[in-house]
Amino acid sequence: MSSLLGSTRFSFLDRSRTRDGYDGPQALRDTVALARTAETLGYHRFWVSEHHSVPGVAGSAPTVLAAAAAAATATIRIGTGGVMLPNHQPLVVAEQFGVLASLFPGRIDMGLGRSVGFTDGIRRALGRDKGDAQGFAAQLAELLGWMDGSQRVHPQVHAHPAEGLRVPPYVLATGEGAAVAAAAGLPLVVGDLRGRGKLVRAVEEYRCGFRPSAWSTRPYVIVAGTVAVAGTAQEARRLLIPEAWSMAQARTRGSFPPLMPAERIEALTMTEKERGLFEDGLSGHLAGTRETVTAELERAVEETGADEVLVTTSTYDRDALVDSMARLAGIAGLRRQSPGFRRGRADKGP
């Protein structure tokens, strides 16, 4: 373990991807099980995501899923990566996180994004449109006002039980997200690790524009991306195949199919366009043996100055995924927890 990686936090985000032969409810149960695995392996936090009407993704209610993950674990931080704030009323989001933080004190993270539904039909069903994303900074300020009791737009209205609770907020950088996080003085979550130049520019913009706040006195950067570690480079590549094929299908057919076993995908006859998109989906990730991934991670952390790495790997083979997580935990020097350890409060750091 290098000293650089040893001083970097490692966390995991699961998107609750469905798999061929396994339905959406199973995907959600798999997510909760993976939260327990992440805790046992010593990861710092475990986050879940929000997607609406996306074939192949079961996670549509992140605060509900976060509650299930928190109830199934004991000390690992649990949060959202993230709640898409333009889809919701800030008061309701504050109330939901207030409930979570009350039930699981010291363990809840409030990760927030600025995306809206990805089709016109979904946006209409949510009562939103594309323009709502432009109001993200104002929505974020309102939400924080509900949390600390400073909002005055709605006199005599309070976000119980959230008001006065310290639920750490994080901003997911898409589009203008880095600038919004900097202006609000909040930690930044930014990806992906493949587009290193764009990633570094976003981090630099964030650090240059950061204004200390009551929520965070200094910049805090979480870089997100796919990491796959295996005994051989070929085994690590096979971990990437199901998601790469699903992404290729989404770009050619408009929807994410359930993740398929790698061997079935390798046997497919692909069109030239599908093959190009598939190979592109395999490239640039941090994948390989322990030695290869260690070197690539060190370079990524050094280039970005990241405080934390948020792993977002999805694949069909859950056993192989857990093995990859365990190998990465070894690279990072994470401290393994014993199953059944006593419930307690997690640290309150970013």
The rounded mean pLDDT for the chain is 93
DSSP-assigned letters across all residues of 162-207: TTT----EEEE-STTHHHHHHHHT--EEEE-TTSHHHHHHHHHHHH
Q: What is the mean pLDDT of residues 136-144?
A: 96
Both structure tokens of 289:
């043996």
3-class DSSP state of 88:
coil
Q: Is the pLDDT of residue 252 over 50?
A: yes
Please give the pLDDT value at position 175: 61
Which pTM was predicted? 0.94
| Whether the predicted pLDDT of 55 surpasses 90 | no
* pLDDT tens per residue across span 186-222: 999 998 888 788 999 999 999 999 999 999 999 999 9
Q: How confident is the model at residue 349 (pLDDT cuts 50, 70, 90)?
A: low
160, containing H or E segment: none
- Predicted confidence band at 343 (pLDDT cuts at 50, 70, 90)? very low
Q: Where are the beta strands (DSSP E) in 1-146?
A: 9-14, 45-48, 77-80, 83-84, 108-113
The three-point CA angle 13-280-49 to 5° equals 20
**Per-residue pLDDT at 161 exceeds 70:** yes
What are the residues facing 227 on neighbouring strands? 286
Q: Is the pLDDT of residue 263 over 90?
A: yes
Strands 9-14 and 45-48: parallel
User: What's the length of the chain?
Assistant: 350
Identify which has the larger pLDDT, 337 or 217: 217
> Does position 340 have pLDDT exceeding 70, yes or no?
no
Q: How far apart are CA 252 and CA 16, in angstroms?
A: 22
CA-closest candidate to residue 187, choices 164, 157, 163, 167:
167
Share of the chain above pLDDT 70, in %: 96
Query: What does the block give as tokens for 34?
Result: 């993976």
pLDDT at site 345 = 38
- Return the higher-pLDDT residue of 55 and 167: 167
Each residue's pLDDT tens digit, 5-30: 999 999 999 999 999 999 999 999 99
- d(CA 124, CA 261) in angstroms, rounded, equals 35
Please state, for a pLDDT cut of 90, what percent of the chain lies above it: 81
- State pLDDT tens for residues 282-333: 999 999 999 999 999 999 999 999 999 999 999 999 999 999 999 999 999 9
The first and second tokens of residue 148, run together, are 């600390």
pLDDT-derived band of residue 42, with 50, 70 and 90 as boundaries?
Answer: very high
